[in-house]
Amino acid sequence: MDHEELKTQPLGELFKQLSQDTATLVRQEIQLAKVEMSEKSQHAKPAAGMLGGAGVIGFLALFSFTLFLIFMLGELLNNVWLAALIVTVIYGAVAAFLAMKGKEKLKEAGPAKPEQTVETVKEDIEWAKHPTTSAKR
C-alpha cells in the first residue's frame, strides 16, 4: 500500500495489518536464524568428530609416552616418584600454555550468534521506529 491508501484505511484495519506484518516478520527472522545456525553447524560437525577421535588417540599416545618418561627418568634418577613429579610439572606447564593460546584463539573466532539475523532485526527495529523515513532508502 502506498501512503495515500493508508490514509483512507480505518484504524482497526491498519492495526490488524500491522499485527499480521509483525507476526510474519518475526516468523521470517526466526526462520533466518534457524537456517543460519544450521549452516554453521553443518560445517562444524565433521571437524568435531575428527577432533574427538584425534583427542582419544592423542590421549592414549600421551599416556604411553608418560609411562615411558617416568620409567626412563626413574632409571636415571633411581627415584620413580621424583621422575613422576618432574613429568607432572612439565605437563602442567604445557597445559597452562595451551590453555592460554586456546583462549586467545577462541576470542579471535568471535561469538557464535547469528550475525545476519541480528543485523536484520536491528534494521526492522529502526524501521518500526521511523517507517516513513526508512522507506525512502
Torsion sign across C-alpha atoms 95, 96, 100, 106: positive
Question: Is residue 55 domain-resident?
Answer: yes
Tell me the C-alpha to C-alpha distance, in Å, between residue 15 and each of 12, 22, 59, 66, 123. Answer: 5, 10, 63, 71, 21
Question: Is residue 1 domain-resident?
Answer: no
Question: Is residue 103 domain-resident?
Answer: yes
Q: Cβ distance 73 to 86 under 8 Å?
A: yes
> CA angle, 123 as apex, 117 and 129 as ends, to 5°?
135
What ranges in the chain are assigned the alpha helix state H? 3-8, 11-77, 80-109, 115-129, 131-134
Report the pLDDT value the prediction gives residue 35, as an integer from 0 to 100: 87
Range of the domain at 60: 8-134
Question: Is residue 106 domain-resident?
Answer: yes
Question: Is residue 3 domain-resident?
Answer: no
Number of domains the chain contains: 1
Q: Locate cell 583462549: which residue?
A: 103
pTM: predicted TM-score of the whole model, two decimal places = 0.44
Render each residue's pLDDT in the chain as its tens digit; 137 residues: 666 776 777 878 877 888 888 888 888 988 888 888 888 888 778 888 899 999 999 999 999 999 999 999 999 999 999 999 999 999 999 999 999 999 998 888 777 777 788 888 888 888 777 766 545 54
Question: Is residue 2 domain-resident?
Answer: no
Question: Is residue 54 domain-resident?
Answer: yes
Q: What is d(CA 58, CA 65) in angstroms, rounded to the nearest whole number?
A: 10
Report the pLDDT value the prediction gives residue 33, as an integer from 0 to 100: 86
